[in-house]
Structure 1
C-alpha cells in the first residue's frame, strides 16, 4: 500500500509512504514505483502524523456524562460526592455490559485518531483489530482506592511490568503525601508511571519513569493541573484523556486546553502523544520511519494553516485516514472512489459533524445494542447525514 502526497507535521516537503506487512517500508519525496501495492491512495492538501497514543483512559467508563458540580480538593472527595449525588446515573450506565462499554471506548479513541490506548483498570482482553489496547502494565488504581496496594505494588511476579497508577490527583497535602508513600513503598524499585500528578513536586518527579498529563480532567475536578512545565525537567511527559466521567470524548479538545495552558510547547505536546509515549510503553510506533509499525493518521489541512498550527486545529471530521499496523481502520468518504467495492465489506458508515466516515466493524449495531440497555446514551456520531 502507498500513501501519496502527504505533508509530515513540521515538514516542508510532501512525501510518499510505502507500507508492507504492517510496517512502514519507505518514506520518500520521490515517486515510488511499487508493483506489489494493492492500494494506492493519493491525497490533496493533507498532513500525516503517527497514530496518537492515549496514555490514560478507562475504556469501559466512556458512556458516562461528566459527573461533578463543584471544585474538589482531591479525587477521593470527588469519588465520594458522585456516588452520593449521582447514584441513579451511575447505576443506569453500569447496566450496560462491560464488553459493550469497552467496545465504545475503543471507537471513541479511533474516531479521534488514536491508534494505541493504555487502558487503566481490569484487563478487558479486547482484540487489537482496529487499535491497540495496551494492557501490559501492572495497573493499580491509587494509594487511596486500591486495597492492599503495598503488597500488590511489590508483587515479584510483576517486577518487569511498569506500574501504572493514579497519584497526586488533588491540590492538598494528602495528595502530595500519597506520592511520598508510593515512592517509599516501591521496595522493588519498579518503573512508576504516575497519572495526573497535580500535587507532585520536582523531587518526587525524579522517582518516576514518566508522568501522564490529563489537563481537561484535572481542570474539571480540581480547577488546577500538574506543573508539567517543571516536572518535564525531571521525567518524560505523556498525554491522556481519562474517561468521559471527567472529560470530553474528543481528544483534540483536550489538546486545545493543553496548548492554551502554555505549560508545554507545541513540540513537547506532540511528542507526548507520539515518540515519548512509544518509548515509555516500549511500542514500535510513534514515528513514521522504516521498520516502525504502520500506525498512521492522515488529516485534511485547514486553509491557511501550516505546521503545528495545522495539527492542533484538527478535529475528528478532518481525519481522512486512520491506519493501525498497516490496515485501515477508518477513512473519509472523499476517498471512496479510490477503493474498490470489496474493500467496504467490513466497514460501516457514520457521520461526524455531517462528514461521512467509514469505520471498521459494525459501529451502528454497537450503538443500537448499547441503547437497548441505556436509552439515554449520547454519541458524538450520527447514522444519517444531518440536513
Structure 2
C-alpha cells in the first residue's frame, strides 16, 4: 500500500504525512490535493433547482423568468437567509471545497471558509459607475453574462469607467473576446451555469493568454450538476494543470487565501494523476480537512461525535454541520430529497 498521490505544489504538506501515518490501513489507493477554492457562488441561492426556460440571450431575460415564478420565489425566500446559507456551505463541503467566494454575501467561518475580500459591483446592468469609488480589494462583477454584442458592449463600456484602474475579477465573460480579457485581473469561469443558460461559455483559451482563469460553480439556481460534473464539462478547453490551478494555486493567490492545512483525500479512480482528479465524484471524497481539522469524514474512517450524517453515492459521510436539524427546518418549504440529490447526496 502506498501513500496518497499528492496532486499540488511540491512538496506535499506535512499534514498529509501525519494523516497517512495515522490512517495507513484505511486509505487504499488514493489521491490528495489542496482544499478547493470555489471562486463564485451565491450561497443563499442553492435551495433553488435550476430555474428558467433556456437558452437566453443574456442574464436579464433569465432573471425576468425567475422573478415571474412567484410561487417558487416566495417559497424559497421564506426560508431564513442564514439557513439557506448553511445549505450552500453543505453543498460546497460535500464537493471538497474548503473556501468559497460568496458573491453578494459576507465573510464568515464554519466548516469551510467564506471569502469576501472584494467589493461586489454585481454587473454593468445593475450597478452605477460611481460605485467604482468605494470598497476595498478587487471589484467583482458579473460581466458579459450573455451571448449578444450588446452584452459585450455594456461590459466594455463599464470597464472604461474604471478610471482608478481597480483590479477587476469578471465573472462569466461569455461574450468577451481576445484582447478584452486584458482588462481583467482574473476571469472567474462558471461553465456549467453558462452552458445551462446560454448554450455557450467564455473563450477561456483566449482569456488564459491575458489573465488568470479561476473556477466557480455558481449556485444551483443556474448550474445543474456537481462541481465534478462541471469540471468534466470544462476539461479539454484549457490544459488540465491550468484548470486545476483555477481551483487551487491561482485562486489562492488572487484571493490572498493562504491555507496550507486545507486538503482533501479521495479515492483514486485512474492511474494518470489528471484522469484520477477529474474522474472524482462526491462519493469518492474520503476526508476534507480545513485548518488542520477534519470537516468531512468518510464512514470507513470513523464517525466524529456531533457530526451530521448523509449518504453520498452509497457511502456514509459525516460532516461538521447539523444536517438533521437543517433538513427538518427546510421540509416545510422544500423537497429535501430533491435538494440533496442535486448535491449528490441523500439523507440518512
Gapped regions of structure 2 (runs ≥ 5) = none
Q: Deviations over 1:301-352 (max 9, x none)?
A: 12x533100111100000010000111100111112xx7xxxx223122111
Size of the alignment, in residue pairs? 340
Aligned to 2:263: 296
Distance 1:364 1:305, change over 3 A: farther
Please name the residue that 1:167 is paired with: 143
Give a deviation string over 1:112-141, Cα, whole Å, max 9, x none.
Answer: 000010000142x53x22111001210121
Aligned to 2:6: 8
2:85 paired residue number = 102
Matched position secondary structure for 1:373: coil
Structure 1: gaps of 5 or more residues: 20-26, 286-292
2:290 is equivalent to residue 324 of structure 1: yes
- CA–CA distance in 2 between the matches of 1:103 and 1:190? 32
Partner residue of 1:51? 35
Q: Which among 204, 219, 229 is matched to residue 243 of structure 1? A: 219
Counterpart selection for 2:310 from 318, 339, 350:
350
Partner of residue 263 from structure 1, selected from 203, 215, 237: 237
Matched, 1:93 2:76: yes
The 1:95/1:230 distance shift into structure 2, 3 A limit, reads same
Other structure's SS at 2:280 match? coil
State yes or no: 1:216 paired with 2:192: yes
The answer to whether residue 314 in structure 2 is matched with residue 359 in structure 1 is no
Greater CA radius of gyration, 1 or 2?
1
CA distance in 1, matches of 2:189, 2:347: 33
Which residue among 46, 63, 79 is the counterpart of 1:79? 63
Structure 1 residue 297: deviation in Å? 0.2
Check 1:223–1:80 CA distance in 2 against 1; reply closer, same or farther (3 A cut): same
Query: What RMSD in Å do the two structures reach over aligned CA positions?
Result: 2.1
State the distance in 2 between where 1:16 and 1:136 align: 27
1:154, 1:187 within 8 Å by CA — same for their partners in 2?
no
Q: 1:375 to 1:313 in 2, by over 3 A?
A: closer
Report the TM-score, using the length of structure 1 for normalisation: 0.83
TM-score (norm 2): 0.92
Whether the aligned pair in 2 keeps the contact of 1:53 and 1:277 (CA below 8 Å) is yes
| 1:18 matches 2:14 | yes
2:332 is the alignment partner of 1:372: yes
Kept in 2, the 8 Å contact 1:322–1:329? The answer is yes
Structure 1 position 161, deviation (Å): 0.9
Structure 2 CA distance, aligned partners of 1:283 and 1:70?
Answer: 35
Checking the alignment, whether the CA contact within 8 Å between 2:13 and 2:261 is kept in structure 1 is: no
The more displaced of 266-275 and 358-367 is 358-367
Aligned 8 A contact 1:5 1:16 in 2: no
Structure 1 moving runs of 4+ over 6 Å: none
Q: Contact 2:196–2:224 (CA<8 Å) still a contact in 1?
A: no
State the match for 2:254 in structure 1: 280
Is the contact made by 2:4 and 2:29 (CA closer than 8 Å) also made in structure 1?
yes
Q: Of Structure 1 and Structure 2, which has the larger fraction of its residues in helix? A: 2
Equivalent residue runs for 1:194-209 within 5 Å: 194-209=170-185
CA contact (8 A) 1:73 1:170 kept: yes
Q: CA deviation at 1:40?
A: 2.0
| C-alpha separation in 2, matches of 1:120 and 1:298 | 27
Where 1:270 maps in the other structure, the secondary structure is: helix
Separation (CA, whole Å) in 2 of partners of 1:375 and 1:193: 35
